[in-house]
Amino acid sequence: MVRFAGIQKTSLIDFPDRISTVLFTPGCNLRCPYCYNWRIVLEPKGPYLSEKEALNILRLRRRFINSVVISGGEPTIHPSIKFFLKKLKDEGFKVKLDTNGFFPETLKECMPYIDYVALDVKTAASKYRLLGADNIDGYLETIDVLKRGKIDYEFRMTVVPEIVEEEDLHDIGEMIRGAKRLALQQFIPGDTLDKRFSKIKPYSEKTITRFADRLREYVDEVILRV
C-alpha cells in the first residue's frame, strides 16, 4: 500500500479543464536542484495519509471534485501505486498521473487506470546528470510509450535557467519529436532544494515565448503557462 505525504484538497490547475484533489507520494529518484517539494523527496516524514484515509476524503469531496491527480515526489517509485489507481477508477474518478518518467514498467502497469499523464521534460538528455540521473534509458522509453499509446498526455517543461538554455532546445526538441503537446511552465524561485536556485532570476515571458516558437518545430502543440 502507498501512503501519501500530502494532499491539496482543491486544485483548478493541475488537471486540464477539471477540478481535482492532488495527492503527493513521498520520495523521488531524482534530485533536481530547483525542486520545491524537496522535503517530501529527501526526508519524508509523517503524518502520512493512508490509502483508506485518502479515499474517505475523496468520497466526501465528490460533490466538489471529479478527478484526482497523483503527484510527488515521484509516484512511480512505488510499484503498488497501480492498485490505488485502480481503486480510484473503480470509484469513478478521472485520474491524472504526474511523473518524471524513469519507471516505464510501472507506468505501463498503471496505464489501464489513468486518463491523463503529465511527463516532465526537464532538459536535454546530456544534462539529466544535473538532476542526479546517470542513465535515462527508462525515461526515453516512457517518451516512446506515451507517444505510441492511447492515453491523453502532455509533456511539460519548467524552464529553469541553467537547466534549460537556448542551446539545449534543439536536443530537447529532437528527444520529444512527434509529441502531441508540450506545456512550458515558468520557474518560480522559492524554497528550492539547492538554495542557489531560490535566487535565480526566471526567464522573461518574451524569452519563454521565443523558446516556445522554436519548440513548435518538433511537437504538434506548445502551450505556455507563464
Could you give the CA distance from residue 104 to residue 148 in angstroms, rounded to a whole number?
13
What residues make contact with ligand SF4 under the rule CB under 6 A?
A: 28, 30-32, 35, 37, 41, 72-74, 100
Beta-sheet pairing, 116-120 with 222-225: unpaired
Contacts of 143 (CB under 8 A, 6+ apart): 101, 119, 155, 175, 176, 179
State which residue, 32 or 65, has the beta carbon closest to ligand SF4: 32
Shortest Cβ distance from residue 31 to ligand SF4 (Å)? 5
State which residue, 48 or 89, has the beta carbon closest to ligand SF4: 48
**Helical H segments across 112-204, by residue range:** 137-148, 169-175
Shortest Cβ distance from residue 200 to ligand SF4 (Å)? 15
The torsion of the CA quartet 69, 73, 78, 79, rounded to 10 degrees, works out to 60
Shortest Cβ distance from residue 65 to ligand SF4 (Å)? 23
Say how many Å lie between the first and final Cα of the chain, rounded.
Answer: 37
State which residue, 56 or 126, has the beta carbon closest to ligand SF4: 126
Q: Directed axis angle between helix 81-90 and helix 51-60, to 10°?
A: 20
State which residue, 5 or 215, has the beta carbon closest to ligand SF4: 5
State which residue, 101 or 173, has the beta carbon closest to ligand SF4: 101
Shortest Cβ distance from residue 17 to ligand SF4 (Å)? 24
Residue closest to 83 by CA, chosen among 55, 58, 116, 44: 55
Shortest Cβ distance from residue 144 to ligand SF4 (Å)? 20
